Structure 1
Amino acid sequence: MIVLGIAAIAEPFIATVAVARVLSWTFFFVGIVRTIYAFQSRRQRGFWLKLLIGIVYIIVGIMLLSNIFGATLTLTLAFGWVILVQGIFEVIAAFQVRPDPQWGWMLFSGIIAIILGILILYRWPIDAVWLLGTFTGISFLFSGAWMIIVPWAISKHLSRI
């Protein structure tokens, strides 16, 4: 994971295209699975809605796969909006749990997410060519680090017992 993270950060454009391809194929295959599920449960309520959702996923997957650079732009825009909305909900939730001792961390996380979402949307579409790849690389880097550190810390703790 660490090596993949470093590679994605070093080559963010290639990583962005790879992420866009993976997500595009994911939409396509999820659409197929949802469509099959709709037909398997056709005697239950909601068949047509389930079928429609599956077909929409397939169409979105095909559209994203047919124009990978458009997919990069679209996915980056969606990513910015998701982070912004998540931040807004985190801030609201933080004020709802305010008496709790750690509510400030939730508020801080929400404010950071709002700022990050605004920055992504403000710089869109200019930064779309590197953003998904860089963020994926950072995520892989940190995931790889904890995958090494946590087992090491556990084994070190257990050796003391």
Structure 2
Amino acid sequence: MARARKPKDRATSMRQGFGLLAVLGVILVLAGLVGLVYTGVATLTSMLLFGWLLLIGGIVGLLHAIQARGTNYFWLGVIVAALNIAAGVVVIRLPHAAAAALTMFAALLFLSAGLFRMVGSMVVRGPQFGWTLLLGVFDLLLGILVLAHWPSSSQYVIGAFFSLALLFDGLGLIATGYGGRRIVGLVSEQREV
């Protein structure tokens, strides 16, 4: 029979878990800061990682499709797996061209999102009108800025976005870990009283 864990043991275990979460957050923040300093390396690294993920995912998808030979979606699985494998090989062999293509896509995405947000905020005029309009203007300006310097901007844009994502995810994990440890500590103190 398994012994029931004491509340103090559980609280200690939870505090350690939240502490590990905060440590992971610190590692992500440091990786994000390094990536922001070396955006070219971060761009190349993220493209190679993306290519390998596509390639490995395509191989796994192909193996899964082969296992499901008698089903209706066999050929769809084979086609999707082949496309993933082909895209992975292209991204691994030509990471700079892949970064240029993704940068162009990101710029067009920012442009279209900015226009839709601006027009949508003016048409709807909801309670967040000003913030939505400001976000639309920001998206539009960011798209124009990236597009104006394309293709040279592709050397740093993807790496900067990737590094910023690591930085903010890390900050979120630090806040969650620190807050979780505080809450567990407060609850443990309340139980002792």
| 1:149 aligned partner | 175
Offset of residue 25 of structure 1: 0.8
Distance 1:114 1:47 in 2: 42
Aligned residues: CA RMSD: 3.0
Name the count of aligned residue pairs.
Answer: 160
- Of residues 81-90 and 145-154 in structure 1, the stretch that sits farther from structure 2 once superposed is 81-90
Please list every run of 5 or more consecutive structure 2 residues that lacks an aligned counterpart in the other structure: 1-27
What is the TM-score when the length of structure 2 is the normalising length? 0.66
| 1:29 aligned partner | 56
| 2:152 aligned partner | 126
Offset of residue 7 of structure 1: 0.2
Question: Conserved in 2, the CA contact under 8 Å of 1:2 and 1:140?
Answer: yes
Offset of residue 36 of structure 1: 1.4
Equivalent residue letter for 1:127: S
- Of residues 4-13 and 130-139 in structure 1, the stretch that sits farther from structure 2 once superposed is 130-139
Question: Conserved in 2, the CA contact under 8 Å of 1:20 and 1:75?
Answer: no
Q: Aligned runs of 1:7-156 on 2, under 5 Å?
A: 7-84=34-111, 109=135, 112-156=138-182
Offset of residue 105 of structure 1: 5.8
Distance 2:47 2:112 in 1: 21
- Same amino acid, percent of matched pairs: 25
Distance 2:52 2:35 in 1: 19
What is the TM-score when the length of structure 1 is the normalising length? 0.78
- Of residues 142-151 and 22-31 in structure 1, the stretch that sits farther from structure 2 once superposed is 142-151
